[in-house]
Structure 1
């Protein structure tokens, strides 16, 4: 078991040394060609709902839940007139 532990430690050291060499090569290549992070890793995608959600148009007075008027009507609005929950209504 002690020998196995020693071998595992040697393997881990060798892996780290190889990783350092590989990372050094990658950094040199990036610097030599002037790659940007988007070119190396690909452009970041927006998460599915980020940036395109509607501003809240309706708010539940008790819970504060909101709905932008898109997608399925929330449970708290089913069977009710949504105008009574409109945000900014005086």
Structure 2
């Protein structure tokens, strides 16, 4: 297939995508119309004012900033939380090396245990 054939095919596909996007937008507007009318009817039934709605919109805006979506409509991954530091639980008496007690034991602990020492002997006293 020649390069011009690919370009023509890509242009045709892009036109089709634009057409389908317009159809999707029109469908969304059609679905939104009765919902908006229902909201307006409810607001007038209960006598809700703009001053009452403003704080609710601010809360919703803050929540949506945290749970934002990308251009495809899928949720973005939440920002990674800051890792908390864990207090060390064990200390080597000679070198001062520490270990939290989580994960694989360091070499100095495994070597000491191989010599017959108890892990508890390295506990940090508080």
> So what's the TM-score if we normalise by structure 2?
0.32
> So what's the TM-score if we normalise by structure 1?
0.42
Relative contact order, CA 8 A, sep 6+: which one is greater? 1
Instruction: State which structure, 1 or 2, has the greater radius of gyration over its C-alpha atoms.
Output: 2
Higher helix share: 2
